[in-house]
A and B are shown apart, each in its own frame.
Chain A
Amino acid sequence: MNWQDRWKPVSVELADPLEGLACEPGYAGIRTVFFWKGVALGHCWIAATQLPLAPQHLASIASGTVAQAVGDYLVAQGFQSALPGLPEPTPENAEGTLKSLLAIERPLAELNLEPEPKSGCESRTVSIVICTRERPDDLARCLASLEACTERPVEILVIDNAPQSDATRLAVERFPDVKYYCETQRGLSAARNAALAHAVGDIVAFIDDDAIAHPGWIGRVPHAFDDPEVMVVTGLVLPAELETPAQRIFEESYRFFHHGYRRRKFDVAYFARLKDKGVPVWSIGAGANMAIRRSAYEQGFRFDTRLGPGVFGGCGEDSEFWYRVLARGWSCVYDPSLCIYHHHRRELRDLRRLIFEYMKGHVAALILQFANHRRLGDLRRLLLALPLEYGMLLARLVASRFAVDNRILLRGAAGCFVGLGFAFRLHRTPDRAVAGQIRLPICSQAQPAEWNQNATNR
C-alpha cells in the first residue's frame, strides 16, 4: 500500500441525474460516497486509472456499493448489519420479506429517507455543542459548517476547555448566535458535562471541533430519537480529506470511524447477551458525532472525568458512558443518516500519539467499567481478548516487514501498558462529575467576567 498517494473524497448524490466522474489531477483516485437525498449509503475507492468514469459505469459501481444499505432501509430483514460481537441476524418471515423486496421495482425511488413529520418530533429541540481547546481555526470551520446546515438548532454552544489564550473566544465572537462557555477543569469529560448542564435543548448533539457537519445533520438529529428507549445516538464520520499518509492510515488501516451505512440498535438484550463476554461498546460509534437526551443528565448520567482527552485516560469517556447507558436499560443507536466529515490528524507524529491515547483510554475505560460494574466480560476483554488481538497484530507487523501503518501498533501496545496504570489511580482520583459535585463552569481568569455574561445572554 502506498500511503503517500493522496485520495480525494467526493460525494455523489444519486437523486440527481448521474454524471460521470472526472479525474482529480494530483490524486491517486477518488473515494466516492454515494448519497440518496442526503443520506450516505456506501462508499468505494475508484483509482485514477479508472477515471474519467462514464455515467453507466458509475451506475454499475453505485448499484453494487449501496445495495446492502438500500435493502436494509427498504425491507430490513436479510440486509441488517450484524451487531459487533454477534453473528449475522437470520431473517424472520423470509417469505414475506422476499415478496415485498421483489415488489420494489425501483428501490431508490421508493426509498423514503426524509424525516417523517411525526408528532412530538418537532417539539424536540436540539442544542449543538462543540468542546474545543486551542484550535480556533478548526472551530471556525466547524461553526461555519453548522451555519450552512438547512435547519437551525435552538442554540450552539462552544465549551472552551481550560484555555491558555483567548483565541477560542475571539473565534466564537465572529459568530453572533453562538454561545461561549469556559470550563476551567481540564478534560473533555468535564467539558461535555458542562455542556449537558447548560444546554437548553431536549437533545444535546456533540460534534468535534475538527469536524464539519453535513448540511442535513442538524435537521436529522431529533428524528433519531423517535424511539423513546434511545438515550444516545451516534452517527457516521466520513473523512474530510485524505491528503497525507497519516490520514490514509487512520482511515483505511485503523478504521476507528468505520461503522457502516446501516442503522444498528444496541439495546438491553444486546447488553445482556454480551455482558459476560465483554460488551464491545467502542463499536457503537464515535464520540466525534454523538447526540444525547438531556434527560440523561437529569437522571444522573455524567461523563467520567477520569477518562477522555486532557486527563490520564486519554479516550474512552464516550464508550464508558454508553456502557452505563446500556447497563441501566437504555438503548444506543448508530444512525448513519447523521453524517459529519472529520479532519484526521495530518502528521504521523500526531497519529502515533493519538493511537497511544486511544489504547490507553480504552484500557482505562475497561478497568473503570470493571471497577464500577464487576462484570467479568470487561476483565476478559482486558486480559484475554486484547492481548490476543495485539499478538495477532504484532504478527502482522512482522509479516508486513514493519510497514509504516503497522509500526504505529507499537504505540498502541505501549498505550495499553500505560493504561494499566489507571488501575492504581482509580481510587486516588475520584470522579469529579458525580451528581451534585459538578461545578458550574466559570470563566477563567484570563477573561473579563462581563464577557462571559454577555455571551450567555446572547
Chain B
Amino acid sequence: MWNSAKQRYRIFEIELADPLPEIAVPADCSGMAAVIRLRGTPVGFFMEPMRGPATLGSSELASRILRHAGKQIVSERIYREKKPLVAPARSPAIDIAICTHNRPDALAACLKSLFTTGEIHGPIRVLVIDNAPPDDRTREVAAAFPAVRYVLEPKPGLDFARNRAIEEAEGELLAFLDDDVTVDPGWLERLQDAWAANPDAGAFLGPILPMELETRAQIVFERMGGFGKSFERIRYGSTLPDVETYPVGAGIFGAGANMVFRLDVLRKLGGFDDALDTGAPLPGGGDLDMFYRVARAGYALVREPGMLVFHQHRREYGKLRRQMWTWGLGAMAYITKSWRAEPEQRRKIRQWVLWWLVYQMGKLLAPVLRRSSKRWPWDMVLAEIVGGIVGLCGEYVRSRRRVERLRRRFA
C-alpha cells in the first residue's frame, strides 16, 4: 500500500449538530479522512483508504463516528453538564508568537487564519519572529497585517527565536505557533476558556490535525500517528499514576507547533534550551524539553481539544524520512540533556529509553510478529531509531558547542 504511486485523501469536516453530510470520495482520491466536531469542538478524527470514486453510506459513516468519536461525544456533553460555571473575571493578555524561517507563503496563511479567530487587538498581540531571513519577504508579509509586530532574530535556530519571543512578550500567556499551521476559528476562545478553568497551569496544548493529505508522505505520516490526536481534556500534574516514567516521555503532552505557556513560568525556567531546536543538524527536542521542565517544576499542563490547529505535513517522502530521523534525534538529545541535568531522574530516563527502543523495535517487527492492522513503513521507523541512537551518542554535547560558536559570532 505504501508503494502505490499516487495517493491522495480527501479531508471532510463533519459537524454533528448538522445532518450527516454526503461523503463522496472523488475519482482521483485513494481515501478519505474526517474531522468530527460537536458544536465546533473536535471530538474525533479518522482516515481510511477507499478507492474513488466512492461514497460512504450514512449508516457506514454513523458507525465510524460512533467508533471514533462516540465516547468523546458523551464525555464532552457530561463535561458541559457538570462543569461549574466559572465566569472568567477577565481575559488574559496573550502574545502569539510565530517563529518563521523563509516560508512567507505559509506564514501569510497562518496569519490569515489567526485573524479569523477573533479580535486581535488590545491584550491579544501577534509577534512574527523572523529567524535568520535570507531576504525581506517575511517582513513584507508581516507588514501586510496591521496588528502584527515584526521582530528579527539573526541567530539561526528555532529556540533562539523562541527565546527572543519570551524577551519581547508582555502578556500573561505566550503562544507559539509554527509558521506551517493554520489555526481553527475557535482556537483563541478555547485557549481563553482553558485558561479561565486552569489559571494556575503552566502550559496549554491542543491537537494538531493535517491541513491536507495530498501526497503519500503526508498520508504515511498521519497513519503513523501524526502529532497525536487525543481529543480528551486532560490536566497533567507532576505525576501520573500508572506511568512510572512520567514526565520523561514528554511527547504525550503535545508538540511545539501548537503550544501556549504562562510567560512567567517560561521566564522562571530560563527560556528554551537553545542547543536544542537549532535547525539542521539538530532541529528538534526543544518543545519536549520545555514540557518536561514545566512538569518537573510542578506546574500543570492542560490539553484542551478545542485549541485545534492544522499542520501542513511534509509533502515529499524524503523530507518526511528526514523529519522522522530528526524526531528520534531531538527526543534523544533532550533525553541526554535531562540525564545530565537531573541525576535523580536517571532511573526513569533509563527506563523510558529502554521502553522507546522496545517500542520502536516493535513497530519495525509489527508486520512479522502480529497480524496487526497498524503498519509502519520500515524505512521511517528505521530513520527514527537511527536518529535516536545518534542523539544518544553525544549529539546534545556537540550541539552545545555549535551553539556556543554561533553565539560568539553574533555577540
Contact = CB atoms under 8 A, between A and B. Distances in A.
Nearest to B71: A67
A45 B241 contact: yes
Given A18-B84, A57-B198, A45 B79 contact: no
Contact of A98 (B66, B71, B197, B233): B66
B228 interface: no
A62 interface: yes
Interface string A64-91: 1011101100100111000000000011
A437 interface: no
Contacts of A61: 235
B4 interface: no
A108 B79 CA distance: 10
B82 interface: yes
Contacts of A64: 75, 232-234
B66 A49 contact: no
9 contacts: A49-B239, A56-B83, A71-B74, A91-B63, A91-B67, A94-B59, A97-B66, A98-B65, A107-B74
Contact of B67 (A70, A78, A106, A109): A78
A383 interface: no
Given A94-B59, A102-B73, A107 B78 contact: yes
A102 B79 CA distance: 15
Nearest to B238: A49
A95 B59 CA distance: 5
Given A63-B75, A68-B71, A108 B81 contact: yes
B82 A57 contact: no
B70 interface: yes
Contact of B82 (A14, A46, A47): A14
Contacts of B235: 50, 57, 60-61
A63 B82 contact: yes
B163 interface: no
Contacts of A29: 241
B12 to A, nearest CB: 16
B204 to A, nearest CB: 13
Contacts of A99: 62
Contacts of A107: 74, 77-78, 81
B369 interface: no
A71 B233 contact: no
A395 interface: no
Contacts of B62: 94-95, 97-99
Contact of A90 (B58, B63, B82, B240): B63
B237 interface: yes
A94 B66 contact: yes
B82 A18 contact: yes
Interface residues of B, number: 40
Which 7 pairs show the lowest CB-CB distances between chains A and B?
A: A94-B63, A78-B66, A67-B75, A45-B241, A63-B79, A63-B78, A94-B62
The A contact surface, by secondary structure, is helix
Contacts of A62: 78, 82
B375 to A, nearest CB: 20
Contact of B237 (A49, A59, A98, A108): A49
Contacts of A56: 83-84, 86, 197
Contacts of A47: 237, 239-241
Interface string A2-42: 00000000000010011000000000010000000000000
A293 B279 CA distance: 71
A79 B82 contact: no
Nearest to A44: B241
B76 interface: yes
A70 B74 contact: yes
B242 interface: yes
Contacts of A105: 77
A102 B16 contact: yes
Given A63-B76, A74-B74, A108 B82 contact: yes
A59 B82 contact: yes
Given A50-B237, A77-B66, A98-B66, 9 more contacts: A59-B84, A60-B83, A60-B233, A64-B233, A68-B71, A71-B71, A78-B63, A97-B66, A107-B77
B397 to A, nearest CB: 31
Interface string B376-398: 00000000000000000000000
A148 interface: no
A58 to B, nearest CB: 8
Nearest to A5: B241
Contacts of A101: 66, 70, 73-74
Contact of B70 (A1, A71, A106): A71
B362 to A, nearest CB: 14
Nearest to B198: A57
A214 B341 CA distance: 50
A391 interface: no
A104 interface: yes
B72 interface: yes
A255 to B, nearest CB: 13
B55 to A, nearest CB: 15
Nearest to B201: A57
Nearest to B81: A106
Contacts of B82: 14, 18, 59, 62-63, 108
Contact of B66 (A67, A70, A91): A91
B244 interface: yes
Contacts of A59: 78-79, 82-84
A55 interface: yes
A97 B241 CA distance: 35
A351 B203 CA distance: 43
A104 B239 contact: no
B197 A57 contact: yes
Contact of B78 (A70, A91, A94): A70
Contacts of A14: 82
Nearest to A79: B70
Contacts of A90: 63
Nearest to A78: B66
Q: Which one of B20, B67, B70, B81 has the greatest number of beta carbons of chain A within 10 Å?
A: B70
A399 to B, nearest CB: 10
Contact of A66 (B65, B78, B86): B78
Interface string B244-272: 10000000000000000000000000000
Contacts of A104: 77
Contact of A67 (B72, B244, B300): B72
